[in-house]
Amino acid sequence: MRNRVALLALGTLTVAAGAAWFTGATMAQTRQTRATVEAASSADLEELGRLLFWDPVLSGARDVACATCHHPDFAYADGRDISLGVGAVGLGPARVDKSGGRIPVVKRNSQTILNTGYNGIDGRRRRRGGGDRASTAPASAPMFWDSRVRSLETQALEPIKALEEMRGTSYPEDKAVDVVVERLRALPEYVTRFEHAFGAGTPINAAQLSQALAAFERSLVAMDSPFDRSRAGDTDALAPQQRRGFDTFDDVGCDRCHRGTMFSDFDLEAEGVAEHPLLSVPDAGDGRFRFRTPSLRNVALTAPYMHNGTLATLEDVLRFYDNGRSENPNVSNDPGRNGDGAARVSRSFRRVDDMSEREMQDIVAFLESLSDTNFDRTIPAHVPSGLPPGGFIGSH
């Protein structure tokens, strides 16, 4: 009986806001539930997320925004091998460290935000209890090169806490999100915009901040490439070389990992990409030198490549696969299992066939057909803090 009452109360929560018998706590919950439901479909929320994404007020020294490293000029990545956050100025490859080495380098290549709303969607049937296997639910969407975080909402607060990305040395990591939330509460335009997005009566909090950023990121979709148009029946969308390249891509075994709608199985694999020379400690990815298979959508727009940007061009990537060997001393090429615990290259990686020069060129042409350049490139003229949109990225 108690259960049934609880169930009933839950069901009523979303509809009967004003019922007099609700306790105070339940009323607050009601307001929040309704606010969340209403916000889910709200353009206000997306626009709020855009402003937050561009606002350097989210960083310790108010100099770095999400857009500093995820900029539309670089297809929402930054065109660098590894990113420069706090203590640097400029945009993309022209960005330079001004901290005199005081701030450690970001150890990885910036991933594009385009289509991250689809992370985890690989078009395969789910295997039960399958370890690394990604699920298609937004709450478990894999994030980062090593999939260490799940969901856009959870991811959104991580750069704010990271010393070298946005936090710097202004406050300790465990205070970072609180400080940023306090700053937002003190800015009248944000107070009004959060109220419009989430409903009045709930002071700005971390959950709302992450929901707004995630809502904006989900709006960044770029899935109408020549390849997609050819799938939809436009016979002129692909050049003959690109069609050939698509077949070769499958024939040589790229599709063992780069498959499905996003051209990724979202699994972790070891390929033994060489370490970046600037890192003092090897990047072990998930701990066994495995990194997530990246989506190949828009890949031609986001050079340089791999988790540390050490391969400059798509031709370089093809040559790496053609060699088919780990170039990292920490990742063994030895297929055998002798119990030494060494990280080994993935079997599907070793199995990629040798390619001719022409086959590699065809595959590159095919990869270029996965670009949809018609994505949202809006740069807000103003952000609520009054700081320069995008941070210290120079005149634009």
Interface residues toward ligand HEC, by CB under 6 A: 58, 64, 66, 68-70, 83, 85, 106, 108, 110-111, 113, 116, 119, 143-145, 152, 155-156, 159-160, 165-166, 213, 217, 252-254, 256-258, 269, 271, 273, 291, 293-294, 296, 299, 302, 305-307, 314, 317-318, 321, 346, 348-349, 352, 363
What's the token pair of residue 193?
Answer: 């915009």
**Cβ contacts of residue 73 below 8 Å, gap of 6+?**
79, 91, 92, 377
Nearest-approach distance from CB 318 to ligand HEC, in angstroms = 6
Nearest residue (CB) to ligand HEC, 198 versus 349: 349
Nearer to ligand HEC, 13 or 331 (CB): 331
Q: Which is nearer to ligand HEC, 39 or 66 (CB)?
A: 66
Q: In the bound complex, what is the minimum distance in angstroms from residue 213's beta carbon to ligand HEC?
A: 5
Nearest-angstrom CA–CA distance, 14 and 199: 14
Amino acid symbol at 393: I
Comparison of 234 and 376: residue with beta carbon closer to ligand HEC: 376
Query: Tokens 């060489």 — which residue?
Result: 274
Minimum distance, C-beta of residue 13 to ligand HEC, in the bound complex (Å): 30
Omega before 304 within 30 of 0, i.e. cis: yes
Q: Which of 238, 231, 224, 230 is nearest to 366 (CA)?
A: 238
Say what angle helices 176-185 and 188-198 make with each other, to 10 degrees: 100
Which residue lies nearer to ligand HEC by CB, 92 or 294? Answer: 294
Question: Which residue is it, tokens 């409903």?
Answer: 199
Task: Report the residue number, 121 or 143, with the smaller CB distance to ligand HEC.
Answer: 143
CB of 331 to ligand HEC, least distance (A): 9
Residue 231, φ and ψ in degrees, nearest 5:
-60, -35
Nearer to ligand HEC, 57 or 113 (CB): 113
- Secondary structure (DSSP) of 294-360: PP-TTGGGS-SBSTT--B-SHHHHHHHHHHTS--STTEE---S--SS--EE--HHHHTPPP--HHHH
Residue 369 contacts residue 242 (beta carbons within 8 Å)? yes
